[in-house]
Amino acid sequence: MLFDLASLTKPLVTTPLALTYLDLDRDLSDLPLLSGFRKQTWPLTARHLLSHTAGLPPWLPYNGLPLAQQLTAPLPWNQHPLLVRPVAEFGQFPACYSDLGYRLLAEAVEAVSGESWAKLGQRMTGLLPAPWGEAPIALPPGPDREAWLLAGNDVAFPESTPNLPHDANARAGMIGHAGFAANAELLLPWLMTWRTTHAPNMTLPHGRSVDGTVWGLGLWRVANGPGQFGELLDRLPLDGTCRVIEHSGTEMPADVPNAPPTETNQSWWMHTGFTGPAIFFRPEDLSCICLLAHRSGPAGALLSPLEIHRRRYAVLTSL
């Protein structure tokens, strides 16, 4: 079975490519492709994009226009959680998780390398860019459909197709943020390399979001607290293990304590994908666990954020 990695494409594919091909502190607006960002008063660097501190909104519908041009168009800001513009505080932007930053990273990698992001990513990782020969499990639309109808400016919503990503922008042609798939057999060899060559460079704190999330370069710190992943991961006897766990069940996950995080965990970093997968990494001993799960519940319903959190928690508890 193939699992749509969704946003796990960011740390597993786009971040390693950016770390390989880009100078982290170069102002990327000097690339002709990104020249529309030269008018802004702050630099557009790979470091800012990887840590989600470039001042970009979380999401916009992909219409093929350069992003800098699209950002100047009238848009229904603050009418949907995906349509929010970050506000600078004390001259700097807080971390704001943005698919758009990873689009720019992928476009910059293509401009510098002269090759396509998808081909570079497949060659580096062995993972599969869309379109796929085998279709992952079908899921109902996510919040991007509703946001697209608000902000699409008459650009038709790209309807779901079995061999294309669940993510609407990836189906429409946007690169960098999603678009790869894997199973355990494909993913484990790449994780063995990723955890030693790339992941340690992703775990130095570079930004903090308004909710307290600490961001490195493509990963965020795991949270502690009842029902959070940090204390659970700390209890597991991992000792440098590298594992990929496939979970294809659709049963409703068991309840876990539903309490806000108490603090950030000082050992573990993570990333998730909307479709269900998650990755956890501990730099001190290179322990790495990737959960390949999907977000389908009983009768094919899309699990809520809390429900997919419970599914991931239950799978980790079984280790």
Answer whether residue 129 is part of any domain: yes
What phi and psi values does residue 271 have, to the nearest 5 degrees?
-160, 155
Cα 298 from chain centroid (whole Å): 25
Across the range 145-172, mean pLDDT stands at: 92
Structural tokens at position 88 = 């600078």
Residue where a domain terminates, one of 151, 172, 193? 172
Strand, helix or coil for residue 186 = helix
User: What's the whole-number mean pLDDT along residues 187-195?
Assistant: 99
Do residues 288 and 281 make contact, with C-beta atoms less than 8 angstroms apart?
A: yes
- Cα Dmax for the chain: 53
pLDDT of residue 154: 79
129 vs 231, residue with greater confidence: 129
Looking at the DSSP bridge assignments, the partners of residue 293 are: 247
Residue 177 domain-assigned?
Answer: no
Beta carbons of 25 and 45 less than 8 angstroms apart: yes
Same domain as 152, residue 79 = yes
Per the DSSP assignment, residues forming a β-bridge with 247 are: 293
Give 4's strand partners. 181
Span 198-237, pLDDT tens digits = 999 999 999 999 889 999 999 999 999 999 999 999 999 8
Domain with 234 in it: 183-317
Tell me: pLDDT of 21 over 70. yes
Looking at residue 143, its pLDDT comes to 92
Average pLDDT, the chain: 94
Domain count, the chain: 2
Q: Do residues 134 and 233 both lie within one domain?
A: no
- Round to whole Å and give the CA distance between 177 and 121: 12
CA distance 226 to 280: 18
**pLDDT tens readout for residues 259-306:** 778 889 999 999 999 999 999 999 999 999 999 999 999 888 999 999
Single out the residue in 142, 172, 202 at which a domain terminates: 172
CA angle centred on 133, ends 129 and 134, rounded to 5°: 100
If asked whether residues 57 and 115 sit together in one domain, one would say yes
241 with 124, same domain? no
| Confidence at residue 90, expressed as pLDDT on a 0 to 100 scale | 62
Same domain? For 160 and 200 the reply is no
Residues 141, 216, single domain; the answer is no
Per the CB < 8 A criterion, the answer to whether 22 and 109 are in contact is: yes
- Token representation of residue 308: 């997919």
Query: Of the residues 145, 172, 199, which one is the last residue of a structural domain?
Result: 172
